[in-house]
Structure formats: structure tokens, C-alpha cells
Amino acid sequence: MKKGTKGILIIVLLVVIGLIYYFYTTQEKEAGVIDEPAQEVVSKVAQISYAVKKTYPHDTGSYTQGLIIYKGDMYEGTGLNRSSRLMKIDLNTGKAQKTHALDQEFFGEGITILNDTIYQLTWQNNVVFVYTLPDFKKVKEFKLNTEGWGITTDGQQLMVSDGSNNLYFYDPATFSLLKTIPVKEDSYPAQYLNELEYIDGFIYANQYTSPYILKIDPKDGNVVGKINVNELWQRVRSIHPGVDVPNGIAYDEATKKIYITGKLWPELYEIELSK
């Protein structure tokens, strides 16, 4: 091959490569494939601030799944196989005053109380346990078709989460499903709904793996407020490195006090929310 011919071939080859690159990148950009700087999504939901009014001790052996105040007493349900319990707690010491241990194969989840009756979910066992107060006597079991995560009550019906963006409403006498409402934040599904608490007409939900507590309107499933408890999460991490996620919301209807904690947290907090 002559030297001049070789040079022409190289030039042609470079031109072809350039055209192919131009065509390829143009097509990708038109298809939206080319990486662009990520656009920050800003939630339109109102941010709710809080103030810590008092700090209480909490058992670092408690993998908190449910937390409630009923007639002035605190009750807690914990998870993990071979460690799941239902307990009545002394708020001032964090110690259990009464304990019912679940059989080893059950992974306990959220709890609520309605008319002196305790309902305790299990995670993937598809069973809801029903106990009487004050003796923690198991009197009934219901089947659950979803996973069990969080549960609360408005005094008439039971509301349950399963880790999705759905809230399920059940008849407390039969545990028959009444309705399902999808929860949305800015029109997007609000996933990982976990522990629930009904407070003054709204459902408050821990959002699993995140520092957020969502305030949900049960009429339409819209998230109308959001609480970021990351500061408390970082605090308990500095005290006890083995802590897990925030989980546990309790409301004392008589005193209007709200309490929050987390899985394996060394502290439990009474907080006051901004209006």
C-alpha cells in the first residue's frame, strides 16, 4: 500500500468514527439516556418541627415494633424470632413490669389496644394475636393476608401497615378487611409505612429505614406533614452504636403527650410538635 493511500484511509476512518460517535450520542440524548445533573426533588409537604420535653431510659434489648399509652400505662411490642415480647413498661425506668413472650417461631410486630383488648401483629407469620387486659391472656387469633408491620386504632376500627404504601382498615371484632387506602406524598407512593399511631384525627407513621415520621390524613391517604428525627437518631448512635432505625410512636390522649423511640435505642423521648 502506498504511503499516501494509507494516510487517506486513516483520515476516512477517523471521519467515520466521528460520525458514528455523533450519531450515537445524539440518539442517546434524545432518548434521555445521557447522564444529566440530578434534579433535587423538593417535597411540598409541610415540615413539622419538634422539641424534646423529657428523656427516659429505654431497654437496648428491645427491638421496638409497637409503642402505645393506654389509660396512663405504656405498652411495648418487640420483634425478632426467639426474642419477641409483649410488655407493660415502667416509663420512668424503662423496665418491663409485665411480659408475655411469643413462641420462638413468631416475629412480633406492631401493637394497639381497643376496649381493653390488645392486638399484636406478626411479621411474616400471617397471624394476629388478641389478648385481654390486664392479664395478657391470649383469647383469639386472626389470619392476616399481608405481612404485619404497624397497627393503630381510631376507637372504631383498626388500621394496619405492611411495609408498602397501603393502609388497611379492619373490623376489630372479626378482622375482616373494610377498605384499603394508598398513601401518597406529593402524588407519589409513600413506601415503607411501619409503626402507626392515631393522633387527633391523623395517622402518624414511621417510614422504615428513614428518619421520617409521616402525618397522614386517613380520609384520602395524603401525607400532610413530615417530621425528621435524624438528630435524635444520631444522638442515640453516639450513646449506643448498636441502635437500629427509629420506630415507636405513642400518644397519651389524656395528657396530649407524644413519645417516640427506636429499635434497640437507649432512650425514649417525650416530644412536643410544632403547630
CATH architecture of the domain covering 46-273:
6 Propeller (2.120)
Mean pLDDT by 10 residues, the chain (275 residues): 49 49 36 34 83 98 98 97 96 97 97 98 97 96 97 97 98 97 96 98 97 97 97 97 96 97 98 92
What is the model's pLDDT at position 11? 52
Amino acid at 52: V
C-alpha to C-alpha distance for 110 and 89, rounded to whole angstroms: 15
Query: Residue 9 carries which DSSP code?
Result: H
- Tell me if residue 84 falls in helix, strand or coil: coil
What is the model's pLDDT at position 275? 76
What is the model's pLDDT at position 23? 40
What is the model's pLDDT at position 44? 86
Alpha helices in the chain (DSSP H): 3-31, 230-239
C-alpha to C-alpha distance for 67 and 74, rounded to whole angstroms: 7
The answer to whether the Cα torsion of 192, 241, 85, 89 is positive or negative is negative
What is the model's pLDDT at position 105? 95
HSE-up of residue 60 (Cα within 13 Å, Cβ side): 8
What's the N-to-C CA distance of the chain in angstroms? Answer: 85
What is the model's pLDDT at position 86? 98
- Tell me if residue 6 falls in helix, strand or coil: helix
**At a CB cut-off of 8 Å and minimum separation 6, what does 151 contact?**
66, 109, 110, 111, 112, 119, 121, 158, 159, 160, 161, 196
Sequence ranges of the domains in the chain = 46-273
Judge contact between 190 and 183, C-beta under 8 A.
yes
